[in-house]
Amino acid sequence: MSSMQFNIYALVLLFACVQGLFYVVQFTLRSFREERKSDLWMAGLILALCMSNMSSMLGFMGIHVLGQALWFFPYDPGFLIGPLMLFYLKAQINVDFRLSKKELWHFLPFCMYFVHHLLVFCAGPSATDWWVKAVFWRFHLGDLELIGGNASLVVYLILAWRLYRNYLKWLPHERSDVERVQLQWYQYFLILSSIGVVAAMGFFTWSLIAPLSYWQDWVLRALVGLIICFISFNGYLQAQPYTLAFKGPGPVGPIQNPVTAEGDNASDYAATMAEKAEKLSTEELQNWCEKIDSMMRSEQLYLNPELTLNLLSERAGSYNALISNVINAGFQKNFNDFVNTYRIEAFQEKAKDPKLSHYSLLALAFESGFNSKSTFNRSFKKITGKMPSDFVGER
């Protein structure tokens, strides 16, 4: 038996695996402690990525147990990574997300792979060797599994990209804290994953021409290790407001009414109200604009950094479709810009107040309802055409 080896190739993969497993524990604990269901999906995703690197990592360390004593054991999570990637996003952008029975089919390919390998493995070494030589290699089942795993990743990357893009379109119409919940790191994760899939397909194509060396495979494994480190750290820092509830393309926001929209009739009621919202007369639109503007100023709702369209609709005693239509048509703004306009006005008033001259610009921005410097600067520039420092210098 060869001794364990530690070299730069093994250490890189080992570091990523150790960090990944550490965060698997942290995500799992937090999911129960704070009831963050998305954390369980992330823990599963990181664990699956760590398992996908396990064979190469142990190989570079001189440990070949997966190719010997555990030969044909179903340790490859290739068919799991795509669904976990997608369902993490669904759970992160919708705190009410629950995996339905009809969505269980997403895990069918992995179940088929798992049962096949487990049955053959449990049959014993001699039966496994016969099956591999007589069936598995002869009919290229291993290649089909590899192709199927890569195809699965491509499909789920497309689904995740589409869902994420729709989510970004939805955000400005529903929330005033867009930057905090836009999951920009997840976009980078999708980019890295896309690069990884392209690299995997390239290596597979190359292997059809000439066998890949162990070192060439390390490049792909190192990229997976980078992804593990990236998503474990950034995913753990990601906030998850309990009011976040994106449920896919459709009418802007979850249309609700505390009195009427209840039970099985809620969807029919929502459709009816959305249709009525588009048919407001000029006078009705003006009345609603005045009501909302008065309420925003008198109650200073914009000071809530997490103000949402749903909260504003509840305060107005109406439903999301109508309030969204009033803001878009009456104020010519999306919800995010609409709220930030009031925050900018509040900031300008505070900046002119001599009693607050000892406050920094960022402190005044936070006092006005903003929750980050970058959001404040970008909103101020968009609404006024100037930077905050330019405004203060001119007053």
Q: Is the per-residue pLDDT at 260 higher than 70? A: no
Dist. CA 246–CA 268, nearest whole Å: 19
Percent of the chain scoring above 90 in pLDDT? 59
The mean pLDDT of the chain is 87
Going along the chain from its start, the domains and CATH numbers come out as 8-237 (1.20.1070), 263-394 (1.10.10.60)
Q: Is the per-residue pLDDT at 361 higher than 60? A: yes
Q: Is 194 exposed, middle or buried (0-12, 13-18, 19+ CB in 10 A)?
A: middle
Q: Is the per-residue pLDDT at 201 higher than 60? A: yes
Q: Is the per-residue pLDDT at 268 higher than 70? A: no
Q: What is the pLDDT of residue 3?
A: 64
151, 191 Cβ separation under 8 angstroms = no
Q: Is 239 exposed, middle or buried (0-12, 13-18, 19+ CB in 10 A)?
A: exposed
Percent of the chain scoring above 70 in pLDDT? 90
Give tens-digit pLDDT for 294-344.
999 999 999 999 899 999 999 998 888 889 889 998 999 999 999 999 999
Task: Give exposure, 76-88, as e/b (b: 16+ Cβ within 10 Å).
Answer: bbbbbbbbbbbbb
DSSP code of 105?
A: G
Lowest mean pLDDT among 165-169, 181-185, 258-262, 352-356: 258-262
Q: What is the pLDDT of residue 101?
A: 93
Give tens-digit pLDDT for 202-236.
877 877 787 777 777 888 899 999 999 999 999 99
Q: What is the pLDDT of residue 254?
A: 38
Q: Is the per-residue pLDDT at 263 higher than 50? A: no
Q: Which residues contact 48 (CB under 8 A, 6 or more apart)?
A: 77, 80, 81, 84
Could you report how far apart the first and last alpha carbons of the chain are, in Å? 79
Phi/psi for 246 (5° steps) reads -85, 125
Q: What is the pLDDT of residue 258?
A: 39
Specify the amino acid at residue 21: L
Mean pLDDT of the 73-101 span:
94
Q: Is the per-residue pLDDT at 265 higher than 70? A: no
State whether the Cα torsion 171-173-174-178 is positive or negative.
positive
Q: Is the per-residue pLDDT at 256 higher than 70? A: no
Per-residue pLDDT band at 242 (split at 50, 70, 90): confident
Give tens-digit pLDDT for 113-172.
999 999 999 999 999 999 999 999 999 998 899 889 989 999 999 999 999 999 999 999
Dist. CA 320–CA 225, nearest whole Å: 43
